Amino acid sequence: MLDVDPILDDPDTRIVVCCGSGGVGKTTTAAALGLRAAERGRKVVVLTIDPARRLAQSMGIDSLDNVPRRVKGIEDASGGELHAMMLDMKRTFDEIVEGHADPERAAAILSNPFYQSLSAGFAGTQEYMAMEKLGQLRAREEWDLIVVDTPPSRSALDFLDAPKRLGSFLDGKLIRVLLAPAKVGGRAGMKFLNVGMSMMTGALGKVLGGQLLRDVQTFVAAMDSMFGGFRTRADATYKLLQAPGTAFLVVAAPERDALREAAYFVERLDAEDMPLAGLVLNRVHGSGAAQLSAERALAAAENLEDSRIVDQRDGKAGLRNSPDTYGSSDSPDAPSAEAPQPPEDASRTGADSSRPAGQDVEQLTAGLLRLHAERMQLLSREQRTRDRFTALHPEVAVAEVAALPGDVHDIAGLRNIGDRLATNRPELPSTDA
């Protein structure tokens, strides 16, 4: 089992990265870990890239932005602090430009239409800026622990791949060709552009439009001195993620697709020599009556619902399997015309007088048994899914967090999740149970 407290308490652990596919509870897990670390005495900042703003709501903050904000209401007797922030992708890109270019060039870049499109929505920009912001936070040495909630990407691997993709874009042949005229300069540059690029720019102009192509060329010329810095910082942050002071936690739900993605990510982390702490299996269902199997519950429900096989009064056992006499006028249970009818129970006013009072209880009990059977079937599916993952990766420690009846929306809810993470108790039964 995964024990999170030694990870959070270790002063050498400076970064915890929560990663996984979308919709598995990464944001809640990251916030719960940050809160628990802060209440155990560490100065923590949680960086989320989740645009749904659930983190701000759960921490009682009106809104989060690109600046860490102090979270109030935590138990700070141990001297810890909790701060939270939400990545503003474009603002982070703007800060890089403003910090690494002179004012005139920075103004030209920020006003360039192609830059505005790139900084707002280029594929991989969000993940790259998350890496940039992580590098900035770590370099400031202001926090004991940084907890990162990775972007809600289609694939969890985007977080690791984005810096390389953006670096490949900046190093690409198209960029180098577009940059060449600016490097040559003057008439020679224009001659090179007109002769050496006439065919390519003509084709690109038809596809992209002449104005967009000019915007790209202007952007590339202005950004030339910064390209190396992007790659250098991306490489430095990548090495930071490989360092011993970083711990990766893969978050997944006990579902086939989520755990398949988790397994792929575990393998990728191992291939990249990145420190994996373990797997958080989130939203696991359990039962307080696991000894009653789904099959037995369904059989009991059917027994209650089928009046032909329900236990009857003494001396009537022979009628249970006799369809010819059931309900007939010859049945000893069938009332005769001469037999006096029992008076109606006054306590059952408004109820169906033709049904015994116990029949309503039996139907309710049968319904509850069927609900229990469905829960046990779900639990069995989750157990098989988890066991497939652990069979493939027996070396990965696992912490299981029970599914809650509602969403987490406050500090108390986050504290509850943190307590469950640290309980170190499996929710699902073991394979040999």
Per-residue model confidence as pLDDT tens digits over 122-133 = 666 777 788 888
Closest CA to 127 of 234, 223, 226, 44: 234
- DSSP type of residue 65: -
8 A C-beta contact, residue 399 and residue 417: no
More confident residue, 37 or 413: 37
Which residues 6+ apart lie within 8 Å of 20 measured at CB? 26, 150, 156, 250, 251, 252, 258, 261, 262, 265
What phi-psi label fits residue 185: left (phi over 0), alpha (psi between -120 and 50 degrees) or beta? left
Give the residue among 288, 285, 280, 267 at the shortest CA–CA distance from 383.
285
- Write out the two tokens for 227: 């390209």
pLDDT at residue 10, as a whole number: 95
What pLDDT is stored for residue 194 in this prediction? 46
- Please tell me the distance from the alpha carbon of residue 400 to that of residue 415, in angstroms, as a whole number: 16
Q: What is the mean pLDDT of residues 135-151?
A: 89
- Lowest model confidence (mean pLDDT) among 48-52, 143-147, 353-357, 370-374: 353-357
Identify the pLDDT of residue 326. 40
Would you place residue 339 in the very low, low, confident or very high pLDDT band (cuts 50, 70, 90)?
very low
Q: Percent of the chain beyond pLDDT 70?
A: 68
Min mean pLDDT across 45-54, 225-234, 242-251, 337-346 is at 337-346
Global pTM? 0.74
- pLDDT computed for residue 316 by the predictor: 43
At residue 167, the pLDDT reads 59
- pLDDT, tens digit, 9 for 90 and up, residues 209-224: 556 667 776 777 777 6
**Main-chain dihedrals φ then ψ at residue 48, nearest 5 degrees:** -115, 150
Residue 298 in 3-state DSSP?
helix
Query: What's residue 202's pLDDT?
Result: 47
Q: What pLDDT, on the 0 to 100 scale, is given for residue 17?
A: 93
Please report the pLDDT score of residue 247 as a whole number: 95
Does the pLDDT at position 290 exceed 90?
no
Whether residue 355 has pLDDT greater than 60 = no
* Rounded Cα gap, residues 134 and 208, in angstroms: 34
Q: Determine the pLDDT at residue 112.
A: 86
Residue 198 in this model has a pLDDT that exceeds 80: no
- The rounded Cα 345 to chain-centroid distance in angstroms is 56
86-98 tens-digit pLDDT: 888 888 888 888 8
Residue 7 has pLDDT above 70, yes or no: yes
pLDDT of residue 23: 80
Q: What mean pLDDT value characterizes the chain?
A: 75
Q: Region 319-335: what's the mean pLDDT? A: 44
Q: How far apart are CA 299 and CA 62, in angstroms?
A: 52
* pLDDT higher than threshold 60 for residue 105: yes
Are 178 and 220 spatial neighbours (Cβ–Cβ below 8 Å)? yes
Higher pLDDT, 324 or 83: 83
pLDDT at 153: 58
Most confident of 127-136, 158-167, 287-296: 127-136
Question: How does pLDDT run across 49-64, given as a tens digit for each residue?
Answer: 766 666 677 777 767 7
pLDDT at position 184 over 60: no
User: Cα–Cα distance between 398 and 208 in angstroms, integer?
Assistant: 50
pLDDT at 200: 41
- pLDDT of 307 reads 56
